[in-house]
Amino acid sequence: MIIQALTLTLRLAIMVSAILLVIGIPLAYWLAFSRRRWKFLVEAIVSLPIVLPPTVLGFYVLVAVGPFTPLGRWYQALTGHSLAFTFEGLVLGSVLYSLPFAVQPMATSFAAIDGKLLDASALLGASRWRTFWRIVLPLGLPGVLTGLVLSFAHTLGEFGVVLMIGGNIPGATQTVSILIYDQVQALDYATANRTALILLLLCFTMLAILYGLRRHGGRNLWEWR
């Protein structure tokens, strides 16, 4: 039971952080460098999951993927089943829920890069694309890694969104945090304790690696700082 929930949780966290890496970096780049007037609106939307109760977010996602919206109908037509109460639905909800944790550190580290370096790159004939790969990404790497680890750890521990969208189906949507809730409900404190401890250790290890990398590995990875 625990192993099954744990594998599912890890699978979810890995998928979510991989997706957030792919959409987070361009979004963070845009937030860091765009001069659009309505940028603040996007910033507010991206940060919304931080303050929103997970149940609210979960509720809207549930409604959005249901049969009453175009998105829900389109997905149903494509796959033959609804997104609600599936692993894919969990991934969608978790991506939205962890978005600020990935995007904010990335955007902050991109924005902190000296603009003169970007000018210098352009003056040396580099396209924006090349400037991004050779200057922005390497110099913003600490922020990208932080965003990656934070979204991973945040997904490991999430509860409300999962419960709203996924329910509690072992092997499909039952994550470790839901399992713990289940075990406590069943008054099985001993098992709940073991499960909780595993999650605690996992999260702690992740963060320890992140901060350790920053401190120690900094000498190799970010030597110039």
101-140 residues in contact with another protein (CB under 8 A) are: 114, 116-117, 119-127, 130, 134-135, 138-139
Q: What is the 3-state secondary structure (H, E, C) of 159-213?
A: CHHHHHHHCCCCCCCCCHHHHHHHHHHCCCHHHHHHHHHHHHHHHHHHHHHHHHH
Nearest distance in Å: CB 225, another protein = 8
Count of residues in contact with another protein, rule CB under 8 A: 20
Q: How far apart are CA 178 and CA 188, in angstroms?
A: 14
Q: CA–CA separation, 19 vs 146, rounded Å?
A: 15
Question: 187 or 223: whose CB is closer to another protein?
Answer: 223
Under rule CB under 8 A, residue 144 binds another protein? no
Q: Identify which of residues 10 and 126 has a Cβ nearer to another protein in the complex.
A: 126
Residue 76 neighbours by CB under 8 Å, 6+ apart: 67, 82
CB of 121 to another protein, least distance (A): 7
Residue 112: both structure tokens together: 């902190």
Q: Which is nearer to another protein, 119 or 188 (CB)?
A: 119
- 81 vs 128 by CB, closer to another protein: 128
How far from 173 is each of 27, 80, 176, CA to CA, in Å?
28, 18, 10
In whole angstroms, the minimum distance from the beta carbon of 13 to another protein comes to: 30
Q: Would you say 61 or 118 has its CB closer to another protein?
A: 118
Q: Residues in the site for another protein, rule: CB under 8 A?
A: 114, 116-117, 119-127, 130, 134-135, 138-139, 222-224
